[in-house]
A and B are shown apart, each in its own frame.
Chain A
Amino acid sequence: MGRYIIQRVLEAIPLLFLVTVATYFIMNLAPGGPLAIYLHNPHVTQSQLAILARQLGLNQPWYVRYFRWLWALLHGNWGYSYFTGQPVIQLIGERLPNTLILMSAAFTVALALGIPLGVYSAVRQYTPFDYSFSFLSFFLWAMPSFFFGLLLQIIFAVKLGWLPVAGMYSNFAPPSILELLRHLILPTLVLGLGSLAGWSRFMRSGLLEVIRQDYIRTAEAKGLSQRRVIWKHAFKNALLPIVTIIGMDLPSFFGGAVITEEIFSWPGMGRLFLSSLNDRDYPVQMAILVISAALLIFGNLLADLAYGFLDPRIQYR
């Protein structure tokens, strides 16, 4: 197990390195480049542009520029926003926590409701609950998250007025945990319900598969209560494939976060990313690509470790 953990961590490091190479490569394809803002300025001559390019190191070959960028990145210098002039690391530092709040809330809701609902649906297979929940999850899964978000806004914020339409805190009340929670409810539902639907369905089918195995029949034959058979004997084995699925599902949280933050004006990294696209703010885009990929790799690493923890048979090849 210890060897497995170390191997997994060691595998993640070169991948992270490749991520920075790929990011640099992609952003090098961007039209314009750092000097684009000067190109149409009549006061900037061709020779001045050449001097600027030399000062900024743009005349160097790409691999030299890449390693200088990587070196700076590793030392906490993430460059400066073309648009606001602020250090990128500061911009990200302001936004990333908000995104992580939203994501962890959605993740927690999806996990805490999806898994038990899936188990319940499997135990009550072919009952009205099972049918209606399965049907509902089909729709939640298929509904575009922005459409779902707009519906929730119409119903709960505009018509009923129970919850705020958008934002993270109220303009009319001092910021407090309670205000944050009130503003968090709708975005969390939008971001979390799709995964909730998916995970509960996999939990259901996974458990249905496990409870047909012989060792479960043995446990039942011993006279154990159904609760004990399900939770003590079947659940852990059925959970194994779900862990992989949850790990693979993490990218959808990033995509979902961009859309959710946009609908609910949530001041997170996703909206920062969208505005950096509109502003052609390449340093910010690069930083967000690297950070989101790093978070994804880390998430998958955690999922692998959870898998190894749940399944003691696992051995690193």
Chain B
Amino acid sequence: MAITTQIATQEAFETLQEPRSSSHFWRRFRHHRLAMVGLGILAIMILISLFAPLLTSYSPTAPNLAQTLLPPSAAHPLGTDDLGRDALSRLMYGGRISFLVGFGSTIIAITIGVIWGAVSAYLGGIYDRLMMRFVDLVMSFPVIFLLLIVLNFTGSHASVWLMVLYLGLFGWTGLSRIVRAQVLSLKNLDYVEASRAQGAGPLRIIFRHILPSAMAPVWVSATFGVGSAMLAEASLDFLGFGLQPSIPSWGNMLDAAENYIVSHPVLILAPGFAITLAVVALNFVGDALRDALDPRSTTGMSRIG
């Protein structure tokens, strides 16, 4: 889905050429009720995961083999998992992993994608062709296959930071295409020409004059990208090629609970709905960003989603 949204945002922004005032943007954004709901959900989920040590006294990792697979009770509202760990505690700590992976890998992807796309468009000619051919090449492979292969190289059970790195390294190509299209449409505008005439160097022109106006669709796409990265991480965990099983991530919880799907469905439902809720909230925000930044959205396009 990530690519889908990137293309859509790219198309939505091809006409956008002048920077819009930020107050205008905030007014439109705040009017989007679902976006506010999304931000609220995200804030609550992130706060719970950050303050998990205050909210629960159980360890998310230490097994307690005397208390495996307990049904939900007052002491364990979601019961315990197959190693006797409190499911609610793991769920709360799991948010840290998911959000860290989602936001961390997206930051890497934005950094690479923006630089790659901007340099490619600014240099033009043979450089542009070569750099975009490389993007075509990476995008010719199903990303999950590449991720599975490199994760398998490094011994399958990755650390959180390695996961962040890999998802970032394989997630920037769509962004670079968006940035390239933006920079291409901006680089010959008069105000850029003017700063060039004043003797500004290429780096200054790209980073000071072009990119600030080119970033709007990047933020939209990146918002959806955070959700995609969270889904990818959970999928890799579930397939058994992701994070070490002891790490309390939502994907690992689902993977471990798969065998107890009938006897203890809550162990599946809780992390599953946690991921879904987080990604839905991110997509609400992304949708609102697109509406607020897209000048054509006065037509009511994709109002509620």
* A in complex with B: yes
Q: Which of B145, B227, B235, B268 contacts A292 (CB 8 A)?
A: B145
Does A134 sit at the interface, judged by CB under 8 A?
yes
Smallest Cβ-Cβ distance to A194: which chain B residue: B1
Number of interface residues of A (CB under 8 A): 61
| Known A205-B301, A249-B4, A255-B143: A241·B11 in contact at CB below 8 Å | yes
Interface residues of B in 202-247 (CB under 8 A from A): 227, 231, 234-235, 238-239, 241
Q: Mark B47-90, 1 if CB is under 8 A from A, else 0.
A: 00000000000000000000000000000000000000000000
Residue of B149, B153, B235 near A146 (CB, 8 A) is B235
Contacts of B302 in A (CB 8 A): 201, 204-205, 208
CB–CB B142/A146 < 8 A: no
A270 and B249 CA atoms in complex are apart in Å by: 24
Task: Tell me, rounded to whole Å, the shortest Cβ–Cβ distance linking A108 to chain B.
Answer: 18
Q: Which of B23-31, B120-128, B180-188, B279-287 binds A?
A: B279-287
**B148 / chain A contacts, CB cutoff of 8 Å:** 258, 273-274, 277
Nearest CB on A from B217, distance (A): 15
The residues in A between 193 and 215 inclusive whose CB is less than 8 angstroms from any CB of B are: 194, 198, 201-202, 204-205, 208-209, 212
- Decide: A255 and B304 in contact? CB cutoff 8 A: no
Q: Please, which residue of chain B has its CB at the minimum distance from the CB of A23?
A: B141
Segment at the interface with B among A76-84, A136-144, A308-316: A136-144
A209 to B301, CA, bound (A): 7
Which of B144, B146, B275 has a CB less than 8 Å from the CB of A26? B146
Q: Does B296 contact A (CB under 8 A)?
A: yes
* Nearest CB in chain B to that of A249: its residue: B4
Complex-state Cα separation, A27 to B51, whole angstroms: 43
Residue among A130, A205, A241, A252 with most chain B CB within 10 A: A205
B235 (CB) vs chain A CBs: closest residue: A259
- B131-181: which residues lie under 8 A (CB-CB) from chain A? 133, 136-137, 139-146, 148-150, 152-153
* Alpha-carbon gap, A154 to B299, bound state (A): 43
Closest to A297 in B: B140
A304 near B: Cβ within 8 Å? Answer: no
> Are B141 and A289 neighbours in the complex by a CB distance under 8 Å?
yes
Q: Indicate if the CB atoms of A198 and B280 lie closer than 8 Å.
A: no
Task: Collect the chain A residues with CB atoms within 8 Å of residue B241's CB.
Answer: 277
Partner of B239, one of A154, A241, A258, A297: A258
> How would residues 144 to 156 of chain A score, 1 for a CB under 8 Å from any chain B CB and 0 otherwise?
1111001101100
> Are B141 and A18 interface neighbours, CB within 8 A?
no
Chain A residues with CB under 8 A of B276: 139, 142-144, 147
A144–B272 CB distance below 8 A: yes
CB-CB under 8 A from A254, the residues of chain B are 142, 144-145
Smallest beta-carbon distance A228→chain B, Å: 22
Contact check, A138 vs B145: say whether CB atoms are below 8 A apart.
no
* Alpha-carbon separation in the docked complex, A146 to B234 (Å): 9
**Residues A252 and B275 in contact, CB atoms below 8 Å apart:** no
Q: Which of A19, A135, A154, A251 contacts B3 (CB 8 A)?
A: A251
Find out whether the CB atom of A134 lies under 8 angstroms from the CB atom of B231.
Answer: no
Chain A residue with minimal CB distance to B262? A158
A285 at the binding interface (Cβ < 8 Å): yes
Neighbouring B residues of A198 by C-beta, 8 Å: 1, 4
- Measured CB to CB, the nearest residue on chain A to B271 is A147
Given A15-B136, A142-B276, A202:B4 Cβ within 8 A: yes
* Complex interface: chain A residues within 8 A of B194 (CB): none
Q: How far is the CA of A279 from the CA of B241 in the complex (A)?
A: 13
Q: B272 near A147 (CB under 8 angstroms)?
A: yes
Partner of A248, one of B3, B275, B282, B304: B3
A31→B268 contact, CB < 8 A: no
Which residue of chain A is the closest to B277 with respect to CB atoms?
A142
Q: If the complex has contacts A138-B280, A139-B276, are A18 and B137 also in contact, measured as CB distance less than 8 A?
A: yes
- A41 shortest CB reach to chain B, Å: 22
Please tell me if the beta carbons of A245 and B4 are within 8 angstroms of each other in the complex: yes
- Asked if B239 contacts A145 (CB within 8 A), the reply is no
14 residue pairs from A and B, CB less than 8 Å apart: A18-B140, A138-B283, A141-B1, A142-B282, A143-B275, A143-B276, A147-B275, A147-B276, A202-B8, A208-B299, A209-B296, A258-B148, A273-B145, A277-B149
Known A137-B305, A146-B254; 19 more pairs at CB < 8 Å: A15-B137, A19-B137, A125-B300, A138-B283, A138-B284, A142-B283, A143-B275, A143-B279, A144-B231, A144-B251, A144-B275, A146-B235, A153-B261, A198-B4, A204-B302, A205-B301, A258-B239, A259-B238, A296-B142
What are the 8 tightest A-B residue pairs by CB atom distance, in nearest-first order? A254-B142, A142-B279, A147-B272, A255-B144, A142-B280, A205-B302, A248-B3, A293-B140
**A residues lining the B interface (CB < 8 Å):** 15, 18-19, 22, 26-27, 29-31, 125, 130-131, 134-135, 137-139, 141-147, 150-151, 153-154, 158, 194, 198, 201-202, 204-205, 208-209, 212, 241, 244-245, 248-249, 251-252, 254-255, 258-259, 262, 273-274, 277, 280, 285, 288-289, 292-293, 296-297
